[in-house]
Structure 1
Amino acid sequence: MSDPAERFASLTMLLEDPHGLTVEGQRADQPHEYLLVLSNQICNGLQRGLTICTEIDQMCGGSQ
């Protein structure tokens, strides 16, 4: 397992991807199928983020 600071850096990098996806999804002319893909990618990123948050919490002696 890596250092909590390294995991936090990974978390902040991970958060950049969903931000880009949300910006792309704001276009009014997106087909519904594409919005579903974007939504799934955001959801997957958030789940990975939760995993990293849990790891950081455990490394730092938290209670999550």
Structure 2
Amino acid sequence: MTGRDDIYATVTTILPAGEDEQLRSRVLDLNLWAKEGWRLRDSIHIPLGDVIEVHDTLERTGPTR
């Protein structure tokens, strides 16, 4: 969870490798962040065998910035 004055936030997601449905779910989650005034700044994907760990860094774009 982030505070009102936070400029950056990181969202970590663990996904099964090769699961397109899970990737669509991640995009929907990021779209919810966007509606709250955040944009995707950077994304790192770390393959860990049969899962992928995704770290998305978000930047506040709303009026509190």
Same fold (TM over 0.5): no
Q: Which has the higher helix share?
A: 1
Larger radius of gyration: 1
| Structure with a larger share of its residues in strand | 2
